[in-house]
Amino acid sequence: MRREQLDEYTRLGRWVRSSMYLRKSRAEEHMGLQETLQRHKAALTAYAERYGYLVEPEDIYEEVVSGESLFARPQMLRLMEAVSAGRYEAVLCMDMQRLGRGGMYDQGFILDTFKASETLIVTPDRIYDLTKELDEEAAEMQTFLSRSEYRMITKRLRRGTMQSVQNGAYMANAPFGYRKIRQGRLPTLEIVPEEAECVRQIFQLYASGSGCTQIEQTVNAMGFHGRRGSRFNRSTIRLILENPVYIGKIRWEKTSTVKTGIGADRKKKVVYNAPDQWKIIDGHHPAIISQELWDAVQERRRARYFYVDNKHVASPLAGLVRCSKCGHLMNLQGKNKGVPYLLCPTKGCTAGAKYAFVEQAVLRHLEELAGSIEVEISQAAPPDVSHLEQTLIAMRAQQVKLESRRSRLYTLLEDGTYTRALFSQRMEILAQEESTLLDSIASVEGQIQRELSRNKEEQLTRLRTVLDRYQASDLPARKELLHSIVEEIRYTKEKKTKPADFALSIKLKDFV
């Protein structure tokens, strides 16, 4: 709809088909989420009733998650899909920045969607018709200013946090052994005596020659437990042993967040920085252990373990091998003078094996799978999905009919045949039918996808590529090759069996 059509609707007393988008802003962080959304909803509902915008309950999009990126906001994505389909003539929101103040890609996508569908953006202060040059420029300026404001706020928050850390404040959650307190305006830690005793025992046991598994068993047997009554395990013992907070230090910037991909593929990924990039700062909190005990423990850890970070690929099988009993991912660790092993993180579960043995077994198994797929291809016919496609065509036709019913309902409301109460009742029935139909369409599309994804030729081609290139590739390339074809590997090994006496079950990825 264009602005002149809106004037015509107002003159004739016709309702404007609309939706409402509700989202909390950073400036309202002192208020509760539901309180903010309800306040905005009441204000926009009053505005809609006053100026003739028809917003049904199913057309209210309440964003309850926080995300800078458009693709991290599911309700906004739903709204964009509906706007693109021409479902609404206007969208009501409190101001332009509620729609998005992410990167230029997000802003451009949102504004282009509204412009192409000729959907008005209505705020209590202004109506934006993006087919008009002045309104388009005003909307672009608002989103630009909003983005600049967001960057400035984020920069101030980061600068303030870093300044507090450099002054010795502890900004993160309190680790085991401490509780959060405040000294003046700065947050810091104080010792929890019973937890601190457990921490001392862990460090002393390790310095005297015990391993993480032995320490786990010892502290659990002594009656120590975590904050919520949980038992200690090998991973929590390791995290305690490597945390300098116990000698009165603050470790900052151990990890960084990086963004990868664009559009719907954009993701935030946490990466571990190299130790020389960490900031180790003297804190205001008291130490639990001595510097001498800390140094002794760190020296033994450096000599004993094979370390892995996600900046340097240490295992091409990372993220693929799961224990068949407990379902947890197997961990790469170094024992027996640094020889890498794959170990299950669950105590008393599956026995571990040398990483080299597992890697060789995976390659042998992939060779066997390639041979099996070749036999299948020589005997199998392409999948027949014609019956599913016919079902989908019929469902799409029904979807068009439901959209026509929606248009007729609006016409009957506008010419006075239906009252608002009767219109709402019929719209609710229509929405339920649409929801059921959309679920059925998604189910059939999923069936078709699953049938077509069993493309054995493409699967075999990729599998052969992996086997041909694997040995000549470096570690990152090997990991990429395996992840391109393998969905999951299930590992089974009983205790007190031979080193290479384990079983693997490999699930390959399907391809369209």
Give the model's pLDDT for residue 372: 87
Kindly report the CATH number that applies to the domain delimited by 3-162.
3.40.50.1390
- Per-residue pLDDT of the chain in tens (512 residues, 90 and over written 9): 888 888 888 888 889 999 999 987 655 555 567 788 889 999 999 999 999 999 999 999 998 766 666 777 888 889 999 999 999 999 999 988 888 766 677 788 889 999 999 999 999 999 999 999 999 999 888 888 877 777 787 788 888 888 888 888 898 889 999 999 998 888 999 999 999 999 999 999 999 888 887 888 888 888 888 877 788 888 889 899 999 999 999 998 888 777 666 555 556 677 777 777 888 999 999 999 999 999 999 988 876 654 444 444 568 898 899 999 998 888 887 655 567 888 888 877 889 899 899 999 999 999 999 988 888 777 765 666 788 888 889 888 888 888 888 888 888 888 888 888 888 888 888 888 888 888 888 888 877 776 666 677 888 888 999 999 999 888 888 988 999 999 999 999 998 888 889 999 999 887 76
Q: Detail the DSSP E strand segments found in 129-220.
A: 178-183, 186-191
* In 428-468, beta strands by DSSP E: none
What the block records as the tokens of 128 is: 């934006």
Q: How close are the terminal C-alpha atoms of the chain, in Å?
A: 40
Q: What does the pLDDT read at residue 309?
A: 45
pLDDT of amino acid 306: 46
**Amino acid making up residue 459:** Q
Nearest 5°: phi and psi at 69? -80, 145
The pLDDT of residue 312 = 47
Give strand pairing partners of 271. 256
Q: Domain locations in the chain?
A: 3-162, 167-304, 386-452
pLDDT digits (tens, 9 = 90+) for 275-294: 778 889 999 999 999 999 99
Write out pLDDT tens, residues 53-94: 999 999 999 987 666 667 778 888 899 999 999 999 999 999
AA identity, residue 93: C
Among residues 392, 386, 364, 404, the alpha carbon closest in space to that of 489 is found at 364
What is the pLDDT at residue 28?
A: 52
Q: CA 110 to CA 103: how far, in whole Å?
A: 11
Quote the pLDDT of residue 147. Answer: 77
The C-alpha atoms of residue 127 and residue 512 are separated, in whole angstroms, by: 45
How far is Cα 68 from Cα 72, in angstroms, rounded to an integer?
7
Q: CA–CA distance from 192 to each of 168, 243, 418 (Å)?
A: 19, 17, 68
CA-CA distance, 122 to 98, in Å (whole number)?
12
Query: What CATH architecture applies to the domain 167-304?
Result: Alpha-Beta Complex (3.90)
Strand partners, 511: 454
Q: Are 82 and 61 in contact (CB under 8 A)?
A: no
User: How many angstroms separate the most distant Cα atoms in the chain?
Assistant: 88
What residues contact 431, with CB distance under 8 A and at least 6 apart? 56, 58
The pTM for the full model equals 0.48
- Return the structure tokens found at 109: 């996508």
Query: What pLDDT score was predicted for residue 381?
Result: 59
